[in-house]
Amino acid sequence: MIELQRVTKIYPGSNHPAVDGVTCTIPEGEICIFIGPSGCGKTTLMRMINRLVPITSGKILVGGKDIYTMDPVSLRRRIGYVIQEIGLFPNMTVRDNIAVVPKLLGWPKQKIDDRVDELLNLVNMPPDLFRFRYPRELSGGQAQRVGVARAMAADPPYMLMDEPFGAIDPINRAVLQDEFLKIQEKLKKTIIFVTHDIDEAIKMGDRICLLRDGRLEQYGTPDELLSNPKNDFVKNFVGTDRALKRLNLLKVEEAMLRDPIRCHVNDKTTDILRYMEREKLNYVIITDENDVLRGYVSRRDVADYQGPVEKVVRPMSLTVPPSCNLKDALSKMLQNDLGILCVVDEKKRLLGVLDPKTLFQTMDNTYDEKGGDEDRFATEDRWHERIG
């Protein structure tokens, strides 16, 4: 845990604090984003945590200890540090760059080599391919991964990351963000992450510390800032599309309609047709005996054929897992002109369905997960046109 208690920084000759009485607590194992306009004090505040910048007043506790009661070198060895410029030593191989801190700590060679290979695998850089390359032989994204690996080399419980993906192109940046979140899911480090990008903050952060002119404007979860901005500054900073940004934070499983109507793959088309006419359905999902999704059929499909429905089942063009966020799910629906998405698990078993109505009802916190008969799956006349 990292605690900031009325932390203030005033540079000599300045009339205004660079950081002005900031108080917040970063729980163990979470990523806290420092964000705000240029010159708001976010990088200064972060650099005070490992004593690269001295504080003017206040107190900073790392793991329950006042950082000014600790030896600064020992403190910094407990805190991994990643910067936008990466700072790899150009005359050292990837292996030696990652090994810098373990060498300073006196680790034996075999332990260092094992740790380097472990970290290279963790950041998806096969050791046999990258261990002995030099920084000039790496792409920007690869060099950034090595920088992250170096920061984690001695397995520090805390990490400071100063716009670590800021200089990477958008495609590789998204890949690095996703990979880092997967790593964090395993390692559960306590991380301070500086960025100027609100979308990155929402994606990466468990909590967000929004600063302006050195002062803390709002501290909370991404959802709190998006759904309940404290003032007009926060509202404007997170953007007028904050309702859409919340889609990044919500999962399909929170919005899907569970236990949708379905028929069995071995049912006869005549029975299915009678059922669809009775229930006033135009289309129906088809699953097998294990509830694995097989596809769907329309009234016309089952009216024109007599026998097991398996012969006329149309495959679903797209499905999503329950862990997919609503933004990605909505994007898939729009890109593929779909009016509905089936939600399946890793074994392709049907868990539920998602449509725009249930999605936006969830956004408005008015969605009843059980739904009602009028909202049940496959009642829209044009559904086939949208998913065919």
Closest CA to 82 of 2, 148, 15, 155: 148
Token pair for 96 = 């030696």
* pLDDT for position 62: 92
* pLDDT for position 256: 87
The sign of the CA dihedral 34, 61, 119, 100 is positive
DSSP conformation class of 40 = S
* pLDDT for position 156: 84
Sheet containing strand 262-264, strands side by side: 262-264, 283-287, 293-298
* pLDDT for position 374: 36
Q: Are 3 and 25 in contact (CB under 8 A)?
A: yes
Domains and CATH numbers, the chain: 2-248 (3.40.50.300), 252-387 (3.10.580.10)
**pTM across the whole model:** 0.71
pLDDT above 70 covers a percentage of the chain that reads 92
Q: Are 198 and 177 in contact (CB under 8 A)?
A: no
Q: Are 8 and 21 in contact (CB under 8 A)?
A: yes
Token pair for 356 = 């725009």
Who contacts 155 (Cβ-Cβ below 8 Å, separation ≥6)?
Answer: none
In order of 89, 95, 99, 102, 113, the CA distances from 109 in angstroms are 20, 11, 9, 9, 6
* pLDDT for position 206: 92
The sign of the CA dihedral 362, 365, 368, 372 is negative
**Which residue ranges of the chain lie beneath pLDDT 50?**
366-388
Closest CA to 359 of 387, 333, 388, 385: 333
